């Protein structure tokens, strides 16, 4: 599969295994997601463009490397995207944030939008869309299409777990958007859940079930 990065760093994989465990508490699940998001953020930003600026250290002047271009946008697909968003903002505190409110209709598995708020100048920025789960890819696709409608052209998608079916559907509809994930699981079940997966990410993060 092209345009796809699986982040198989040992710390990511170890933490993900703890998150998958049904006996992991809500608090631990949230903490681990935040920790993993730092490591995933490191990977998804690895090739950001750099420039230099002149600064003065206590010793002398130097041309110091800094990030080039406008601030990043992190677009969180609610609710569960916020679990990745918070850690990413720890690492890139100046990033702008978009929120895309979507839930899956449990019968049709279609994404239903209930909220959208994003910075105006999406076209000038790299937009990193975050959601822990890529199952059918309906939610990620709906979010990205909305962001594209609002002008975004340079987009990456970051998740924790993906189903092979979701990766294929996503790559078909969004061939210009690279995917970064910590793992690609075996399959989707008949209800659209990732197997073996980790269950419902939002419910596990917020203890709603």
Q: At its nearest, how many Å lie between ligand PRP and the CB of residue 131?
A: 5
d(CA 61, CA 18): 47
Q: In the set 131, 174, 177, 185, which binds ligand PRP (CB under 6 A)?
A: 131
What are the C-alpha distances in Å from 54 to residues 47, 67, 104, 157, 180? 22, 13, 49, 33, 34
**Given 96, 104, 156, 204, which residue is catalytic?**
104
Q: Counting contacts by CB under 6 A, is residue 42 touching ligand PRP?
A: no
Q: In the set 31, 101, 200, 206, which binds ligand URA (CB under 6 A)?
A: 200
Residues of span 91-150 touching ligand URA by CB under 6 A: 133, 135
d(CA 116, CA 77): 10
Other residues' Cβ atoms within 10 Å of the Cβ of residue 199:
16
The interface partner of residue 119, options being ligand URA, ligand PRP, none and the CB cut-off 5 to 8 Å by kind, is none
| Phi, psi at 135, each rounded to 5° | -100, -85
| Nearest residue to ligand PRP on Cβ basis | 202
Positions marked catalytic: 104, 108, 200, 203
């Amino acid at each position: 599969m092209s345009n796809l990065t699986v982040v198989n760093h040992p710390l990511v994989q170890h933490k993900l295994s703890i998150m998958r465990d049904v006996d992991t508490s809500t608090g631990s699940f949230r903490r681990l997601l935040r920790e993993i998001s730092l490591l995933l953020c490191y990977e998804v930003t690895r090739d950001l463009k750099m420039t230099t600026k002149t600064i003065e250290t206590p010793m002398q002047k130097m041309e110091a490397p800094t990030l080039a271009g406008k601030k990043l946008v992190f677009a969180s697909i609610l609710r569960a995207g916020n679990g990745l968003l918070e850690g990413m903002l720890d690492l890139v505190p100046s990033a702008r944030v978009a929120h895309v409110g979507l839930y899956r209709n449990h019968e049709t598995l279609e994404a239903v939008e209930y909220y959208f708020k994003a910075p105006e100048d999406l076209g000038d920025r790299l937009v990193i869309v975050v959601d822990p789960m890529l199952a059918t890819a309906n939610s990620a696709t709906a979010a990205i299409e909305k962001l594209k409608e609002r002008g975004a052209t340079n987009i990456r998608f970051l998740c924790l777990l993906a189903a092979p079916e979701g990766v294929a559907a996503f790559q078909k509809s969004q061939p210009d958007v690279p995917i970064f994930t910590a793992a690609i699981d075996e399959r989707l079940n008949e209800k659209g859940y990732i197997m073996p997966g980790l269950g419902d990410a939002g419910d596990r993060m917020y203890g709603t079930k």
